[in-house]
């Protein structure tokens, strides 16, 4: 990587705290990496480099999502898989697989399915009126 991993780790964790985010991707801070940072608890932050969804559970859930990439965007209802398994590289370079659910699952799907591929939040809007 162009920047040292520990420097990026510090920058990303500070951004989570400063902006009150539950997750972010490196591109949000103008870094050209497929790196997702997820706040699992107040004391546990997960860094996933090159994450890939390898399994999606059958159960779907709807969450009001917002995006820190847009100013004053109203939350929109988005339906995604409630449970997923993700394969990723750790900060130390090893491979790992984790199962995520709920909000954390939604966050990761938003990053890997939408943002890494150029979709916006409004492409995923659930139009309840037809």
Domains of the chain by start residue, with CATH: 5-124 (3.90.45.10)
Range list of β-strands (E), 1-114? 23-25, 35-41, 44-56, 60-65, 76-81, 83-89, 95-101
21 or 68: which leads in pLDDT: 21
- The answer to whether 103 and 63 are in contact (CB under 8 A) is yes
Structure tokens at 115: 């943002």
Q: Three-state SS for 23? A: strand
The CA–CA distances, whole Å, from 76 to 8, 31, 41, 84, 97 equal 30, 26, 24, 21, 29
pTM of the model: 0.79
Tell me the average pLDDT of the chain.
82
pLDDT digit string, tens, across residues 14-31:
998 998 888 888 888 888
């Amino acid at each position: 990587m162009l920047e040292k991993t520990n420097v990026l780790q510090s920058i990303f964790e500070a951004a989570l705290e400063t902006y009150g985010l539950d997750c972010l991707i490196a591109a949000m801070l103008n870094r050209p990496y497929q790196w997702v940072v997820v706040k699992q608890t107040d004391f546990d932050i997960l860094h996933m480099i090159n994450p890939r969804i390898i399994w999606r559970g059958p159960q779907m859930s709807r969450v009001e999502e917002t995006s820190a990439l847009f100013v004053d965007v109203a939350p929109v209802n988005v339906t995604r898989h409630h449970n997923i398994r993700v394969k990723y590289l750790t900060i130390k370079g090893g491979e790992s697989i984790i199962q995520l659910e709920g909000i954390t699952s939604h966050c990761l799907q938003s990053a890997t399915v939408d943002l890494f591929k150029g979709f916006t939040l409004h492409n995923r809007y659930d139009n309840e009126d037809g």
